[in-house]
Structure 1
């Protein structure tokens, strides 16, 4: 996702935070060249079973929304999550092939997001985290890999988006909010990436939080506003949406909205 820079005056930040649908500018894709290297010949696979086990235990999948049972996570499973993340950070992802890399970065992003919530729980919204002058924790350096400190924004906007250049990435990285595309019920698999990306896109675009078309009055997720650079013009966006929509939508002057409340269930 994105965050406001710390240079903003406190008064301005407080005013902006009071409007969940206020216009916001998301970070641009800005390649971090260090992470661009891969090993096409590598047959090494990364074990994400610990993350899958947590999803199986605490993620509730419903027709329109997946929710996470943060309050129910046991101390043992919190430790398991920490160990899983530590195991990933001890690897050099540049030695993996491209598909394994993609699965690596998506899974570590989503696992880190859940860890951030658990580390501060109870909290009503991820936007409440990250310090007084921040809109969320996305700029916080949470992990170190190969001697490089990384934030969630680094993973999404400096690695995933610029390297893979696939708009469907927005459907598989989760921000722990009700307005966000659902947290994947299955870990990202290197040998199923395209199918999982299409499935996540289809689920979000056919949900009211993605596209809500009532009598021609179309409300879209603010994701399509924040990331216009990725999705293109309204014509381009309409074509993208209708590739996955059960009922085609026509875009003229859509409204945008986003629900930042925590995606939890007790």
Structure 2
């Protein structure tokens, strides 16, 4: 009887652990992870020629995405990871479909073009960003999605998952804000990315403003600098001409 009871307890524990694990792994992003490792450098430069050569990985991932749209059973982090990866993957597709191209802005309606399907529904990049990702109420998503341009937050060369999402959102936000090629924050001058102007309302949370948000990550705080403004936005393509050889592994 004691052995039977112990077996029952063990079974319940195993079942509970299984629920926890599967709840955090509704979708396997390993195909996208592999494509990123092969074709994105640690500084976020993209080898678009490489993505075209590895197109089988991309199209396998697109098939997985369209067949596994998130539903209410997915955790918030799993949903966010799915849609961030979807946005970034289809931005890559948008570029390679018209490659070579000097800038995403050379394309017609790049963000409003409905050019891919998820579970039979047509989507644009703006649909994902504005109708889905921004609805989560987490302004850090702006530093995880990439618009194929130098002034955008860099393309991370690993896939987002439910397990790494929070850590990577913090990492990418801090990295972007303290990147002198995208923001200048010194004791005498402030020129921040226009992202903080375009999405100003997203950064106003919990009675804090945009400056409060930036200061929570910035190594140099914004306070009484005499020169303040926004940096010019470089829309040129964020590409590298060589195969990346150095990777960041978790």
TM norm structure 1: 0.75
Question: Secondary structure at the residue paired with 1:218?
Answer: strand
Question: Contact (CA 8 Å) 2:182, 2:231: kept in 1 or not?
Answer: no
Cα distance, 1:60 vs. partner? 1.2
| 2:41 counterpart residue number | 60
Cα distance, 1:190 vs. partner? 0.4
Distance 1:254 1:176 in 2: 24
Q: How does 1:104-119 map to 2 (within 5 A)?
A: 104-119=82-97
Cα distance, 1:170 vs. partner? 0.3
Distance 1:174 1:251, change over 3 A: farther
Aligned residue pairs total: 216
Query: 5+ residue gaps in structure 2?
Result: 1-19, 242-250
Is residue 201 of structure 1 aligned with residue 173 of structure 2?
yes
| 2:111 counterpart residue number | 138
Cα distance, 1:181 vs. partner? 0.4
Cα distance, 1:255 vs. partner? 2.6
Is residue 127 of structure 1 aligned with residue 105 of structure 2?
yes
Question: Contact (CA 8 Å) 2:148, 2:238: kept in 1 or not?
Answer: yes
Is residue 154 of structure 1 aligned with residue 127 of structure 2?
yes
| 1:264 counterpart residue number | 239
| 1:93 counterpart residue number | 70
Distance 1:236 1:117, change over 3 A: same
Between 217-226 and 151-160, report the one with greater CA deviation: 217-226
RMSD: 2.1
Cα distance, 1:251 vs. partner? 6.6
Distance 1:148 1:73, change over 3 A: closer
Query: 5+ residue gaps in structure 1?
Result: 1-39
Cα distance, 1:215 vs. partner? 5.3
Cα distance, 1:220 vs. partner? 0.9
Distance 1:126 1:224, change over 3 A: same
Question: Contact (CA 8 Å) 1:58, 1:70: kept in 2 or not?
Answer: yes
Distance 1:207 1:239 in 2: 18
